[in-house]
Amino acid sequence: MTMAHDTTTHDTEHGMSNAGYVRIAVILAAITALEVSTYYVDFGPFFMPALMIMMVVKFLMVVSYFMHLKFDNRLFSWLFYAGLILAITVYVIALSTFKFFVS
């Protein structure tokens, strides 16, 4: 005998309902639209910090909710955060070698 999973109710295993996932997806789409707008709108010196902040926020939302790290062991979260910090560090070093930050 199999039990049908009702997708309209609150998902207790992962802590979010389908509506919650849709909300997160809409927020991610809005942030992506802002990122794309940086190509068309001159943000001046705030261009790179704005993109980096939006990238970090999207990363945290995706790994927290869609990858369910918010509801998992903290060790897994810290492994992803360490990867994020490493990626940002390598990116900044790479941009520095090409003198991206020099006016």
Q: At 26, is the secondary structure helix, strand, or coil? A: helix
Q: Taking the domains of the chain in order of start, what are their residue ranges?
A: 18-97
Write the CB contacts of 20 (distance below 8 Å, at least 6 apart in sequence): 65
How far is C-alpha 47 from the chain's CA centre?
Answer: 18
pTM for the whole thing? 0.71
- Residue 11 has a pLDDT of 47
Q: What is the mean pLDDT of residues 75-100?
A: 88
Distance, in Å, from the CA atom of 23 to the CA atom of 84, rounded to the nearest integer, reads 24
- To the nearest whole percent, how much of the chain has pLDDT over 70? 83
- Residue 40 has a pLDDT of 92
- Residue 28 has a pLDDT of 95
The mean-pLDDT minimum among 1-15, 45-59, 81-95 falls in 1-15
